[in-house]
């Protein structure tokens, strides 16, 4: 099968696309993939590193308010559609998959106009502008949260699949997670992270709560700062503690995040779609701190979905401090019965076969005749 993947700007759009591609390659040895993305987005670096063919298309995003810039964006969109059509005619894909971000707009639109079967995947509970626009033209809209289904009322077909990133973590070896931290199996772990790049507000809370962790003997705190914040955060934590603590592990990044997550008792993190997919696939209770700096406040909507199911607590960033966060953690970590209930609720929400379901749908769509 020949497949075009498109989506970009942030890891939240790129990694689901790559997960779909990986699943297709696992199921079909003769799978040929082309990734079309923005030359300035993260995908321009990440995708070639994965050994996948990459082609750029220039595009910028629409502003939500009326603006002269939107006229320029329309011109770039039309130019992007023209280039996308050339790339699609040359590659001759059986199906095109878009995972959000501005760049997938002209690519999926061009594919639909050429009669090539298309699928878009929406990771968040609150859909993005690009996917809302594309839902009128694409063959299938795959969603991660049931809450987003009503917002695709004009779509031909909406399919509840979950996030394909979940498929990557479901086989994670928790024993390796303990070993990588130098901890005995069964240790209680509170894993804190702010996404792949880190989050200043969460790092500040880590620093403030560091002197308090001694109130929870036997519990290990893993602080993942993000590489750009690591030196300053580690230095501040050392200063706050005045002496080293075996209970605190400060790391810039986790290359084996699924394994450490699988070993964790609870997680404290942002509520990006990929993180929530991993939490629910593994059944990890969480305290979610939605980023207030995202489009349409979609992380709060994501978090609310887990909170209402009893799988998580939510702490808004405006209420975040070292003390308030530690008190939440302390209350939860001491309540093993509640941890068990939250973990079960998270598993009930999990859709670990997401990538497999999407690939199955792609096969169905690829059987449709194409005009391309």
Per-residue three-class SS string for the chain = CEEEEECCCCHHHHHHHHHHHHHHHHHCCCCEEEEEECCCCCHHHHHHHCCCEEEECCCCCCCCCCCCHHHHHHHHHHHHHHHHHHHHHHHCCCEEEECCCCCHHHHHHHHHHCCCCEEEEECCCCCCHHHHHHCCCCCEEEECCHHHHHHHCCCCCEEECCCCHHHHHCCCCHHHHHHHCCCCCCCEEEEEECCCCCCHHHHHHHHHHHHHHHHCCCEEEEEECCHHHHHHHHHHHHHHHCCCCCCEEEECCCCCHHHHHHHCCEEEECCCHHHHHHHHHHCCCEEECCCCCCHHHHHHHHHHHHHHCCCEEECCHHHCCHHHHHHHHHHHHCCHHHHHHHHHHHHHHCCCCHHHHHHHHHHHHHCCCCCC
Q: Is 256 part of any known ligand binding site? A: no
10 annotated as a binding-site residue: yes
What residues pair up with 261 in beta bridges, in sequence order? none
Q: What distance in Å separates the CA atoms of residue 206 and residue 234, rounded to the nearest whole number?
A: 10
Say how far apart CA 263 and CA 283 lie, in whole Å: 11
Separation between Cα atoms, residue 33 and residue 28, nearest integer Å: 11
Rg of the chain in Å (alpha carbons): 21
23 is in an annotated binding site: no
The answer on whether 115 is annotated among ligand-binding residues is no
Q: Which residues are annotated binding-site positions?
A: 10-12, 124, 196, 299
Q: Which residues are annotated as a binding site for UDP-N-acetyl-alpha-D-glucosamine?
A: 10-12, 124, 196, 299
């Amino acid at each position: 099968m020949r497949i075009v993947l498109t989506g970009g700007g942030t890891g939240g759009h790129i990694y689901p696309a790559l997960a779909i591609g990986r699943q297709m390659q696992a199921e079909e040895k003769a799978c040929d993939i082309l990734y079309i993305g923005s030359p300035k987005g993260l995908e321009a670096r990440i995708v070639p590193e994965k050994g996948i063919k990459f082609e750029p298309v220039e595009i910028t995003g629409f502003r939500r308010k009326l603006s002269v810039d939107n006229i320029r964006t329309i011109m770039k969109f039309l130019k992007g559609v023209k280039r996308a059509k050339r790339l699609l005619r040359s590659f001759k894909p059986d199906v095109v998959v878009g995972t959000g971000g501005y760049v997938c707009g002209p690519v999926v639109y061009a594919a639909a106009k050429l009669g090539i079967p298309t699928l878009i995947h929406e990771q968040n509970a609150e859909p993005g502008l690009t996917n809302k626009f594309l839902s009128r033209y694409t063959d299938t809209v795959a969603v991660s949260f049931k809450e987003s289904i009503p917002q695709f009322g004009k779509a031909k077909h909406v399919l509840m699949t979950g996030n394909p990133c979940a498929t990557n973590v479901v086989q994670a070896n928790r024993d390796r997670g303990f070993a990588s931290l130098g901890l005995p199996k069964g240790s209680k772990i509170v894993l804190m992270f702010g996404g792949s790049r880190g989050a200043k507000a969460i790092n500040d809370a880590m620093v403030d709560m560091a002197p308090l962790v001694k109130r929870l003997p036997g519990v290990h705190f893993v602080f993942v700062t993000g590489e750009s914040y690591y030196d300053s955060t580690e230095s501040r934590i050392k200063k706050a503690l005045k002496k080293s603590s075996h209970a605190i592990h400060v790391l810039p990044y986790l290359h084996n995040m699924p394994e450490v997550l699988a070993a964790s008792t609870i997680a404290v993190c942002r509520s990006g779609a990929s993180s929530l997919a991993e939490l629910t696939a593994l059944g990890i209770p969480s305290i979610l701190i939605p980023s207030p700096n995202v489009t349409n406040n979609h992380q709060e909507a994501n978090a609310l979905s887990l909170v209402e199911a009893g799988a998580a607590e939510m702490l808004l960033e405006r209420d975040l401090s070292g003390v308030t966060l530690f008190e939440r953690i302390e209350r939860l970590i001491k309540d093993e019965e509640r941890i068990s209930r939250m973990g079960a609720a998270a598993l009930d929400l999990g859709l670990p076969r997401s990538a497999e379901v999407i690939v199955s749908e792609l096969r169905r769509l690829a059987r449709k005749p194409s005009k391309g």
